[in-house]
Structures are given as C-alpha cells and as structure tokens.
C-alpha cells in the first residue's frame, strides 16, 4: 500500500500540514475539559494566577498522596529541572564543596545545559551495550568524586523510551552519601505499564531528602504549549528549589487546564490507549521490515534505520514527515514520536514505500 492509495481515508502530510513525529508531543491535543477551563478562566486572567496556582498545587499533592509543601510548580518541568540544578550548585558552592553533574549518554540534555551554563562539569556515562543506563559506572563516578554529585536519571529515558527498573535505582539512592542528589526526570511516567518501574515519588513519601522527581503536563496531558510541570521532593528541599523558580511562574491558562486535566480520568485513559495502539501499529511494521527497536514505555520509540540516520530523516522530510533525530553515541538509531493511530498508519505507509525503494 502506498501513501497515495490511502489518501481517501488518511490525511496525507503536506508542506503546510506536515506529520510532526519529532518532539514527543501528544498529537491527540488536550482534553476538551482543559480547553473549556481555559475559555472559562480567560475573563479573569487579568488577575494574578495565585488562586488557580494554589488549587493546582493542592490537586497535584493530593494525586500523589503528598502535601502541598512537597510540590514546586515550574513553567514546564524544564524550569523545575533548571531550579533543582541551580539550587544544588548554589548550595554546594556556598558550603565550599566541589560539584559535578553525572548524566547517562544519550539522555534528555536540559540538566546538562543548565549545569554547563554555570560552568559546572558534566560527566557523560555512555549507555551499556543494551542501551540501558550503566548504573555501576555512574555510581563509580559519584563515589570517586571528592564533592557533591547531581545524578540525572530520566525514567523512562529520552531518547530510548525504556525504563530503568526500581531495583537498579532504589538501592543506590537508599545507600548514597549525603553528597549525592538524584534528579529523577519522570516526564513520561504516566505512559509506563512495566511493573519493574516505580516512581521516585515513593522514596519521597519515605522522607528521603536526596531525591527530586520532575513531572510534566506536556506529555500525557498534551499541554506542551501551555508550559506547566512540577518538582516533587521533601519540603526542606522544595523550599530551597522554590528560591530558584521565577515568582508567579504559572499562567492562569496552564493552571486551570492542568487542574481540569487531572480531573479528567477519561482523557488519561484515552491518551494511554491511543499511544498503545500507535505503538502496536509501528512495532508490527518494524517487525515485518526486520528493523530492530527497543521496548517502548513512552509516547515514542527508538528504532534502528539502516544507513545514515540524517539521510533517512531528510528523505522523510521530503514526504513532509518529521521524525526525530539521531542521538550519538547511539548511532544508527532514530527516535520516533508516537502520534495518533491514524498518523502512525500514514507513517507506516511511507516507511513501507521507503522499503520498496530500498531506503530502509
Ligand atoms: N524531560 C524530558 C525527558 C523531556 O523529554 C522533556 C520534553 O521533551 C522535558 C523534560 C521538558 O518538558 P516540559 O518543559 O515541557 O515539561
């Protein structure tokens, strides 16, 4: 089946309306309840967002069975990541201690970027031969460092979409010295079904002070453009993080949309089911084409492409399909966002056409 032959049932990507499978957004679009909440709140948006902000913090805390003091809102979880990194660097330097950031490679790079901007060393520990975190090597880096280490662990990881099981992470956190702060980025946690995953929030409930978890409304709740996320940690840590986020950082639209999203359980289920269906469409196609992929636990999938990934990406672009990029040192792999099932059917038809042309 070619892209043209399915034109009558599926939208064909065009220059004006390309198929965007490159930024791990949620193509479903936000919950209609979230949209209605924004429209409803707009006439009052000339006021500062304090009331909506407070309500949202309460609601997030309640959803995790924690207190408001455990939550710090961010303008996207990006701001929360930035604030945590800045806070830890400030605290270490104030105490006259050295500080470094340890990250797996490849991973989502914001912790790295914010640390580098402050002149702090970032140690990149390559993934192992299974493209999983090399926890032992990361731990060794922290143990051998005469100072404070921020350990950034993205779970599920971006770009691999794979989880790191709790049994690999928790013993380390529980036994780690006071000189170690774990920043667990759980932007995609709501998509996970694998029972070996456990949120770091469980450790925060056990009062561990060396863990901060970041979450976002950008992914499962499809609010990426509204910029809303948060950090979860012990109240003593949250109060330090709060000193580094911008004051009144939440806009009214994002706050009410996030609140409505948390209340809309149906949307959450639809979002999850949609990604599962899309994933199945893609993995069936990859299986048929004999293209290797990692077990995805998020709204994207990391798969192999033969030849240069850049060439593949450019050819997809010619078909108005924007796929993700290569993430060295994982050479030969491409990150593909899982859009709606319809979008992924279109993607598969293009991929099949690539096979017919001998491109994949
Ligand atoms: N963390 C990870 C792993 C991501 O992939 C992203 C966005 O792609 C973010 C954080 C930032 O998300 P936001 O700032 O929209 O919450």
User: Model confidence over 212-223: pLDDT tens digits?
Assistant: 999 999 999 999
Position 10 pLDDT exceeds 90: no
182: its two tokens = 């774990």
The per-residue pLDDT for 9 is 61
Q: What is the pTM of this model?
A: 0.96
Ligand 1 neighbour 155 (Cβ under 6 A):
no
Mean pLDDT of the chain: 96
d(CA 342, CA 336): 15
271-275 contacts, C-beta under 8 A, 24 or more apart: 271/26, 271/28, 271/190, 271/220, 271/221, 271/222, 272/190, 272/191, 272/220, 274/28, 274/340, 274/341, 275/191, 275/299, 275/338
The per-residue pLDDT for 11 is 77
The per-residue pLDDT for 7 is 47
Q: Using alpha carbons only, give the angle 292, 200, 262 rounded to the nearest 5 degrees.
A: 90
Position 347 pLDDT exceeds 50: yes
pLDDT tens digits for range 144-196:
999 999 999 999 999 999 999 999 999 999 999 889 999 999 999 999 999 99
Distance (angstroms) between ligand 1 centre and the Cα of 239 equals: 22
Q: Which CATH architecture has domain 32-263?
A: 3-Layer(aba) Sandwich (3.40)
Distance (angstroms) between ligand 1 centre and the Cα of 187 equals: 6
Position 35 pLDDT exceeds 80: yes
Q: What percent of the chain has pLDDT over 90?
A: 96
Please, what's the b/e burial string for 121-148 (b: 16 or more CB within 10 A of its CB; e: otherwise)?
ebbebebeeebbbbbeebbebbeebeeb
Q: Which CATH architecture has domain 4-29+266-356?
A: Alpha-Beta Complex (3.90)
Looking at this predicted complex, what is its ipTM? 0.99
Ligand 1 neighbour 79 (Cβ under 6 A):
no
Distance (angstroms) between ligand 1 centre and the Cα of 153 equals: 13
Q: What's phi and psi for 105, nearest 5 deg?
A: -140, 115
d(CA 207, CA 233): 9
Residue minimizing CA distance to atom 11 of ligand 1: 78
pLDDT tens digits for range 312-330:
999 999 999 999 999 999 9
Ligand 1 neighbour 224 (Cβ under 6 A):
yes
CB-CB contact of 84 with 70 (8 Å): no
Domains in the chain: boundaries: 4-29+266-356, 32-263
Ligand 1 neighbour 78 (Cβ under 6 A):
yes
Distance (angstroms) between ligand 1 centre and the Cα of 4 equals: 35
The per-residue pLDDT for 3 is 47
CB-CB contact of 114 with 85 (8 Å): yes
> What does DSSP assign to residue 359?
-
């Amino acid at each position: 089946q070619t892209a043209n032959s399915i034109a009558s049932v599926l939208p064909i990507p065009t220059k004006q309306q390309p198929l965007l499978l490159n930024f791990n957004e949620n193509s479903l679009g936000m919950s209609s309840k979230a949209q209605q909440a924004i429209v409803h709140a707009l006439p009052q948006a000339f006021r500062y967002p304090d009331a909506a902000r407070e309500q949202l913090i309460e609601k997030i805390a309640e959803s995790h069975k924690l207190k408001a003091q455990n939550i710090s809102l961010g303008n996207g979880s990006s701001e929360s990541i930035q604030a945590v990194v800045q806070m830890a660097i400030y605290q270490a330097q104030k105490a006259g201690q050295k500080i470094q950031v340890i990250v797996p490679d490849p991973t989502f790079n914001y912790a790295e970027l914010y640390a580098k901007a402050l002149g702090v060393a970032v140690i990149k520990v390559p993934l192992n031969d299974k493209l999983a975190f090399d926890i032992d090597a990361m731990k060794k880096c922290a143990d051998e460092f005469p100072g404070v280490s921020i350990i950034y662990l993205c779970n599920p990881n971006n770009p691999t979409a794979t989880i790191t099981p709790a049994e690999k992470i928790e013993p380390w956190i529980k036994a780690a010295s006071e000189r170690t702060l774990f920043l667990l980025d759980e932007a995609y946690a709501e998509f996970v079904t694998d029972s070996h995953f456990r949120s770091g929030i469980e450790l925060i409930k056990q009062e561990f002070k060396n863990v901060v978890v970041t979450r976002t409304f950008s992914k499962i709740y499809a609010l990426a453009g509204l910029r809303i996320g948060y950090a979860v940690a012990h109240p003593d840590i949250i109060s330090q993080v709060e000193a580094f986020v911008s004051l009144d950082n939440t806009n009214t639209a994002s706050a009410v949309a996030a609140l409505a999203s948390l209340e809309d359980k149906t949307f959450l289920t639809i979002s999850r089911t949609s990604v599962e269906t899309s994933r199945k469409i893609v993995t069936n196609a990859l299986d048929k084409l004999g293209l290797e992929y990692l077990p995805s636990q998020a709204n994207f999938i990391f798969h192999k492409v033969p030849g240069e990934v850049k060439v593949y990406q450019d050819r997809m672009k010619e078909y108005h399909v924007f796929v993700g990029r290569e993430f060295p040192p994982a050479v030969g792999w491409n990150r593909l966002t899982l859009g709606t099932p319809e979008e992924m059917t279109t993607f598969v038809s293009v991929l099949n056409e690539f096979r017919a042309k001998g491109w994949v």
